[in-house]
Structure 1
Amino acid sequence: MVHRKEIALLIVQKLTEEKESLKVRFLESQNEIGFFYIDDLLPEDLVYAVYKNFPKLSESKQRKNIREHKYVAYQMDQYKPLLEEVIYAFQDEKVVHIISEICGLENVLPDEKLYAGGLSLMTKDNYLSPHIDNSHDKDRQLWRILNLLFYVAPAWKAENGGNLELWNKGLQGKPILVESSFNRLVVMTTHQKSWHSVNKVLVDDVRCCVSNYYFSKTPLLENENFHVTTFRGRPSQKIKDFILKIDNSLRSSVRKVFKKGIRENPHHYKK
């Protein structure tokens, strides 16, 4: 089996090769939702192996509500060892360093606990409504600043749905569509204006994604305040948007009273 250090070196090598062009791409979007993506990140046979080792939907935890419908897996010792190796390759200090350089950020920190990270699976009719991510880490000590999404489903096409949408002009504008292409890594900033979503999967297949977050002691934007994961409806979903605004307000009120919520969020790796 390939070790996480070996995978990390492969990631660093690829990012280093395209470092200058990725810097330019990130800089062009930095004033809205800073992001870049890179294709063919790892050797194809390795990425196929990661895909083949993904858990079945029945082995994952389903999240189905008005905000989202998807499957997640994060207790990594319950799954094939290769999956833990590839996830923690993205947490390697050399990978964190090169991505920090591309984004022009300092003092970026990985998250060993994989809070809200891990594996994401989406099948037909699954979706993720427009949202901004929770502003902090598990213990509410650090600010969430970068979201890393590594797509591993072979031959995934834009017409399959299940693609990332970046609402860089706000929810009344038109989002940037980033295809969930095989062997593509997307890195995007997370802050109170980084609205993003995943459009509905339209095919009877499973979109598989390896998800990681990076944190910092300071937020990306000035005047950033703590916020829960905040969902909204799409521009055409007026009633849903109204309901989600109420839902956001209720959940935010709870967190003002209970700093870590009424119960601890279970979505982290308990080693």
Structure 2
Amino acid sequence: MQGSTGTSIINPVVLSKRSDYCQEFMSAPPFPHVVIDDFLAPDFAQALLDTFPAFERGNAVGDSGELGGKSTVDKVRALGPAFERLDDAIKSPEFLKAIGDLTGIEGLIYDPWYLGGGTHENRNGMALDPHVDFNYHPSERWHRRLNLIVYLNPNWGADWGGCLELFRDPHADNRPSRSVSPVFNRCVIFETSEVSWHAFDTIRIPPEHEGMSRRSVALYFYTKDRPAEQTASRHTTYYVNRQLPDHFAEGRTLSRSDVAEIKQLLDVRDSHIRLLYAENTALRKAQDRGLTGNLLYLAKRAYVRFRR
């Protein structure tokens, strides 16, 4: 059931303030973004939470090919009436126009394959390093323009981590310019570009709340064109390892937790290096295959486009 229009899933108060949110979006540092509380109609947000898929139902295999602490589901229509309604809404002209009004970006295109998007669930201890996202749709000639994330975490503690972090330059800065807690029905919309560095810090759920996780719905939107000064060559998601925190200074005696933190940072760095080597090897093998490699590329493109 879709409702009267595609915007029926959005809180009417949000729609009435779209021009204010647009000004905030365009002027926000370190890059265009806006944080909107109570973004979805309350009953609809609760329906998404009530039917959020179990962790085991999603794809919990990471970029390295190993089972991890993140689970995603991109076939959202299979998750029941609430997610069917979500899908009906976000592809509607009314919804796309409303998000365009909120951000000043016109001509937004919905991704019917939810590539990289859909439901996201991260378990305790997970974190995400600063990165910029892939800049073109994997199978279309669309420019990636917006990330829209709605968090579905009731009673999330202020010190539980999992905060979305926005960075000016993670190569130089060890602290984000803005940190946003993933509380229930909070929405973050940000422009995806070559400088939209984002991450989330380590999830630290206390033992008395064991079994809880960080849940969200991630929606990505595209356009056919974008300003020439913002256009770059096609690339995949680009990660940067976190800088050492301020407390690692000359003269400090390392504690057990300090050593564990350093080891975690090194493990993440090594994981990134292994992934880059694997990607480089795959590319070289594809080049060596010549025509066969091109045919495999075309087959993959057809699979992405028609797998639904």
How far residue 142 of structure 1 moved from its aligned partner, in angstroms, is 0.7
| Range with bigger deviation, 240-249 or 160-169 | 240-249
Q: Using the alignment, how far apart are the partners of 2:86 and 2:101 within structure 1?
A: 21
| Range with bigger deviation, 226-235 or 150-159 | 150-159
Aligned residue type for 1:27: M
Match of 1:115 in 2: 115
Match of 1:217 in 2: 224
Q: What's the Cα RMSD here?
A: 3.2
How far residue 29 of structure 1 moved from its aligned partner, in angstroms, is 2.2
| Range with bigger deviation, 133-142 or 239-248 | 239-248
Provide closer, same or farther for how the CA distance between residues 88 and 163 of structure 1 changes in structure 2, counting only shifts above 3 A.
farther
Match 1:254 to one of 283, 303, 307: 283
- Normalising by structure 1, we get a TM-score of 0.84
Match of 1:135 in 2: 135
Q: Deviations over 1:199-235 (max 9, x none)?
A: 1211131221111111012245434221101122111
Match of 2:190 in 1: 188
Equivalent pairs counted in the alignment come to 269
Structure 2 spans left out of the alignment, 5+ residues: 245-264, 288-292
Q: Using the alignment, how far apart are the partners of 1:226 and 1:28 within structure 2?
A: 27
How far residue 82 of structure 1 moved from its aligned partner, in angstroms, is 1.4
Q: Using the alignment, how far apart are the partners of 1:36 and 1:126 within structure 2?
A: 24
Q: Using the alignment, how far apart are the partners of 1:268 and 1:171 within structure 2?
A: 36
C-alpha contact (below 8 Å) 2:7/2:98 kept by paired residues: no
* Alignment pair present for 1:36 and 2:64: no
Q: Using the alignment, how far apart are the partners of 2:71 and 2:98 within structure 1?
A: 30
C-alpha contact (below 8 Å) 2:69/2:126 kept by paired residues: yes
Match of 1:58 in 2: 56
Match of 1:202 in 2: 204
| Range with bigger deviation, 139-148 or 149-158 | 149-158
Structure 1 spans left out of the alignment, 5+ residues: none
Aligned-partner SS, 1:147: strand
Provide closer, same or farther for how the CA distance between residues 197 and 262 of structure 1 changes in structure 2, counting only shifts above 3 A.
farther
Greater relative contact order (Cα < 8 A, sep 6+): 1
Match of 2:181 in 1: 179
Q: Using the alignment, how far apart are the partners of 1:55 and 1:268 within structure 2?
A: 24
Aligned residue type for 1:217: K
Aligned-partner SS, 1:251: helix
Aligned-partner SS, 2:101: helix
| Range with bigger deviation, 143-152 or 40-49 | 40-49
